[in-house]
Amino acid sequence: MGHMGLVHCVNHNDYRPLRVKKSDIISKESMLPVAINTILFSGVLAEREIPSFRGAVMGIAGNDPLFHNHTEDAKDINRYPRIQYKLLDGHPAVVGVLDGADAVKRLFLPGATHAMRIGPGYRKFVVRDVLEEVFTPSLKAGEVRQYELHAWLPLNSENFEEYQSISSLVGRIAKLDEILTGNILSLYKAFNAYVEDRVVAHVVDLSPGNVTFKGVRMQSFDAVIETNFALPVHCGIGKGVSHGFGVIQK
């Protein structure tokens, strides 16, 4: 990752494990491996075309709430998106998590060709691979792992003004560390995974940018993070996960 904006944000010697509220701790006995299936398509797609790609896949799937994450009266379902639409190495991909994993595998068979409307016209996409993974959530207090986040959207209408009001770089990074920890804990709760009481989650490099999400221009970040959580590659955290934001990469 190019070092633009904030560089080497955190000194490793200054790591202070974060305390987790009792409400964030889930029974260890309830932790189960998580199915994650990634459908990789041929062809190239621009990031701005992901909403069209998402709409085309939803059309193929029919009125299945796993694919559009809305109730019958068009309200958002308040849960971690089971199916996510994104670019991986410039190619369109659909990632199914939990019960979404089986849904995408049944819908898209390897080698199948699908005509999808992208913008004003139709394009043909071939399912070139189906990656099947079983992810095991884990957290170890003494083990720090590094990941990259692409187009992470940590800021929302509630915390944007607070973030903007912080004048110091150290203070802004501390705020992003807090948001990052919350994003990861939300992911683990969706996976019904046990969380120990000593959590490390820090931003160590940051490249700011801007993206458009649901017609609104928003602050985004490409980030390098370090955490003692195991994170599922290709899944997303933060806002706009189903639209390809906040993609976790190794």
Q: DSSP letter string over 203-224?
A: EEEEEEEEEEETTEEEEEEEEE
Longest dimension (CA), the chain: 54
| 143 shares a domain with 22 | yes
Are β-strands 91-97 and 113-118 bridged in parallel, bridged antiparallel, or unpaired? Answer: unpaired
| 67 shares a domain with 150 | no
Crossing angle of the two packed helices 50-61 and 99-107, in degrees rounded to 10: 80
- Rounded Cα gap, residues 125 and 40, in angstroms: 10
Residue 4 in any domain: the answer is no
Domain of residue 119, residue span: 34-135
Tell me the whole-structure pTM to 2 decimals.
0.86
Whether the Cβ atoms of residue 155 and residue 247 lie closer than 8 Å to each other: no
User: How high is the pLDDT of residue 193?
Assistant: 86
30 vs 69, which has greater pLDDT? 69
- Rounded Cα gap, residues 142 and 144, in angstroms: 7
User: How high is the pLDDT of residue 13?
Assistant: 42
Q: Is a pLDDT exceeding 60 seen at residue 213?
A: yes
Residue 52 in any domain: the answer is yes
In this structure, what CATH number is given to the domain that contains residue 198? 3.30.70
Confidence label for 20 from pLDDT (cuts 50, 70 and 90): very low
User: How high is the pLDDT of residue 140?
Assistant: 78
Of 135, 152, 177, at which residue does a domain stop? 135
Q: Is a pLDDT exceeding 90 seen at residue 139?
A: no
User: How high is the pLDDT of residue 108?
Assistant: 97
Residue 47 in any domain: the answer is yes
Nearest to 35 by CA among 219, 216, 189, 191: 191
Q: Give the model confidence (pLDDT) of 232-241 as tens digits.
A: 999 999 999 9
- Rounded Cα gap, residues 193 and 116, in angstroms: 36
| The amino acid at 204 | V
Q: Is a pLDDT exceeding 50 seen at residue 14?
A: no
| 227 shares a domain with 193 | yes
Residue 150 in any domain: the answer is yes
| 142 shares a domain with 131 | no
144 vs 17, which has greater pLDDT? 144
